[in-house]
Amino acid sequence: MTATYARDGAIAIIEINNPPVNAASAALRAGLADAIGRFAGDDLARVAILQCAGRTWIAGADISEFGKPPQPPLLPDVIAQIEAMPKPVIAAMHGTALGGGLEVALGAHYRIAAAGAEMGLPEVTLGILPGAGGTQRLPRLVGLAPAVDLITSARRIGAEEALKIGLIDRIAEGDLNEAAREYAQSLVDAQAGPRPCAAMAPPQIDEDLVAGLRARLAKRYPGQIAQLRAVDSVVEGGLLPLPEGLAQEREKFTELMDSPQRSALIHAFLSERAVAHLPELEGVLPRDLTQLGVIGGGTMGAGIAASALLSGLAVTLTERDRPAADRAAGTVAGILRGAVKRGKITQSRCDAILAEKFTSADSYDALTDADLIIEAVFEKIEVKQQVFSALDRVAKAGAVLATNTSYLDVDRIAEMTSRPQDVIGLHFFSPAHVMRLLEVVAAGKTAPDVVATGFLLARRLGKIGVRAGNCDGFIGNRILTHYRAAADAMVLDGASPYQIDRAVTAFGFAMGPYAVSDLAGLDIGYFTRQRRAPDRHSRDRIPVFADRLYELGRLGRKTGRGYYIHDEDSPGGREDPELADLLTQVRGELGLVEKSFTDDEIVARYMAAMVNEGARVVADGTALRPLDVDVVMLNGYGFPRWRGGPMHWADQYGLASILKDIEGYSREDDHFWQAAPLLRQLVESGRDFADLNRGKTA
Ligand code: TC6
């Protein structure tokens, strides 16, 4: 039963129950339509309350139905049925009233929300627009500016703000269902009638506001269509009676529903949840996770500590001596103060966290109670090994010992302890209190409950944990090394780093590889190349120009100059006219003939390298499925979400076309450009990465 109908005196109670999040599936829509029908036919019922069982109000349409033929009754029709009721209907919301869920509430005549409820229209983040009346009813109810803000930003608002803009009529003091009953009784007593949005005037369209908004959206969401179509729908609806407004909204909704951006964004949403479903962890319970230890208070260690503190965990951070520990404590406190400034926590909560949950220390002895200890020291195997042999002596039995290495062999670190089963890689991304990705690296002997604890930590921190196998660079950095090598080869052959950065940002990446180098520091890449030098193949192409910049002390933003010039006028970087001379010189020394690349060619090679290595990463089990690669690239490497991740993109582009591209490039360089066997197999068997995802999802 997805909806039940009951009556107490004159008040009908319709309760929706479709765990886990009351998504508006076909069954829920049918149940709701049926219950509304019963209310219509119940002469003794004078007002109805719509409420939800479980943790939340309707959290939206059922995303798993997207892309399949729609099953009646459609949500817009059920909402129209609610709105047309001649007797008042009250929506009583708790949890998250999102998307189609909020649209159901907009179809009701009165709205009350629990104090902690959140409301929003996140459809544009899924590549669609609120297609069940959201772009028509919300502007009628709250006015143009707040409505387009909510629709295009997809942000969630709390009950207070919802009350302020007129989205809801009341906030429940105490128990929501009791407050809704009192509200219903007051309507009965006042003999109030329905108050449908349909009867409200459409919003006045302010042309200037709309033009400014369109310009901002085009800049903020380059390449994306849903935000602008949503604005079109609001504006066109503003000139029409509700039924015609709804009809044009539906047309635009259907067009977006059929778009590749919608399929990419839904793939991203579902994949970010699928990564936590690991067959190897079924029935495995994580270990206790209350007290966290962090070793190293640099940018990464302090970021990890702050992230954990903000999530309610207790943290002890150790540094080599007292002054370093004090500096680290200062960095952590600074990050928390930033959270206060951005309104994430209150000042008093910040003070309480620092006083009660955080300790900084100058000795590992302070870590004896820690359930999980994360090392974030200098990225050198000998240094990490020393830390782990010391940890082995002080950590309590059963503590999880984690390394935050981004490339190094976790097995070699684990073997320094007497308990390799307790050792795991937890690869955070910088800044660790902001970035949502956490690679959970299972080494050869890591116990399943330790892997489960890594995922529990990710969840606690509000991050997305992705399981990765132990190899140089795990999932993300291993793939990065490969597409970065493809970019560097193009630079050696004549492309400008600036052209490459422009081409890949036009494709949708947050940043190009050379702007990323400047941000991270050119020393990072230099040290990685040095470390790998002994294993280098004689035919590997070395980015001599990058080494040259390092030797010149051009380390990127931190020295004011790398690939770009960074100064007060252009902190993000401006092009350096001298770089071209350096490149010409390097190419001359290497005897290379310069050629030109089109932007399309640049993107094709960059993507082919990424997908090819992605296929290898899947084939050797470093990533469980192609979707795990997508989630890593989306959340750690600035891959455009609306393209779904490299493996999803590859399916859309066509695996046969990628293979053909790679075979073409291999005629120039058959050492680097070797097609991954998995890619070839998929092409030969007419399958794609999505087939692998389906086959291996738990
Ligand atoms: C829309 O409404 C369009 C309307 C137009 C109509 C014409 N559908 O995130 P969690 C599953 S667009 C199906 O881990 P939380 C989720 O996959 C939609 N399933 O929980 C997961 O399943 P698993 C607008 C859904 O507490 C489980 O529920 N709505 C849906 O961290 C738990 O999810 C949205 O975009 C769904 N809509 O967060 C809201 N939502 O256990 C999307 C969740 O098998 N949802 N599931 O892995 C969210 O933002 C969050 O899930 C949340 C709960 C805030 C509701």
Residue 698: is its pLDDT beyond 50? no
Residue 308: is its pLDDT beyond 60? yes
Same domain, 227 and 308: no
Place of tokens 């002390």: 553
Do 520 and 607 meet the contact criterion of CB atoms below 8 Å apart? no
The rounded distance, in Å, linking the Cα atoms of 3 and 54 is 12
Residue 460 falls inside a structural domain? no
Given 15, 83, 103, 379, which residue is catalytic? Answer: 103
Model pTM?
Answer: 0.92
Is 568 marked active-site? no
| Structure tokens belonging to residue 692 | 């692998």
- Give tens-digit pLDDT for 436-482: 999 999 999 999 999 999 999 999 999 999 999 999 999 999 999 99
Domain of residue 386, CATH code:
3.40.50.720
ipTM: 0.97
Same domain, 80 and 228: yes
Last residue of a domain, one of 258, 279, 301: 258
Same domain, 541 and 680: yes
Same domain, 221 and 84: yes
Same domain, 439 and 541: no
Residue 282 falls inside a structural domain? no
- Indicate which atom in ligand 1 lies nearest the CA of residue 74: 7
- Give tens-digit pLDDT for 48-58: 999 999 999 99
Same domain, 201 and 349: no
Same domain, 297 and 249: no
Q: How many domains does the chain fold into?
A: 3
* Max CA distance (Å), the chain: 92
- Give tens-digit pLDDT for 498-537: 999 999 999 999 999 999 999 989 998 999 899 889 999 9
Q: If you average pLDDT over residues 570-585, what whole number do you get?
A: 93
Residue 696: is its pLDDT beyond 80? no
Same domain, 193 and 129: yes
Residue 275 falls inside a structural domain? no
Same domain, 520 and 565: yes
Q: If you average pLDDT over residues 272-277, what whole number do you get?
A: 95
- Indicate which atom in ligand 1 lies nearest the CA of residue 277: 47
Domain of residue 611, CATH code:
1.10.1040.50
Same domain, 94 and 214: yes
Torsion of CA 342, 343, 348, 351, to 10 degrees: -30
67-71, 129-133, 170-174, 383-387: least confidently modelled range: 67-71
- Give the Cβ contact number of residue 543 at 10 Å: 20
Residue 324 falls inside a structural domain? yes
Residue 585 falls inside a structural domain? yes
Residue 379: is its pLDDT beyond 90? no
Residue 592: is its pLDDT beyond 80? yes
Domain of residue 110, CATH code:
3.90.226.10
Q: If you average pLDDT over residues 111-135, what whole number do you get?
A: 98
Same domain, 364 and 410: yes
CA of 218 to the centre of ligand 1 (A): 27
Which residues have CB under 6 Å of ligand 1?
20-21, 23, 56, 59-64, 75, 96, 98-100, 122-123, 126, 131-132, 273
Same domain, 116 and 227: yes
Residue 657 falls inside a structural domain? yes
* Range of the structural domain that residue 319 is part of: 289-453
- Indicate which atom in ligand 1 lies nearest the CA of residue 270: 17
- Give tens-digit pLDDT for 2-12: 999 999 999 99
Q: Tell me the backbone φ, ψ of residue 576, rounded to 5 degrees.
A: -110, 115
Is 356 marked active-site? no
Residue 602 falls inside a structural domain? yes
Residue 465 falls inside a structural domain? no
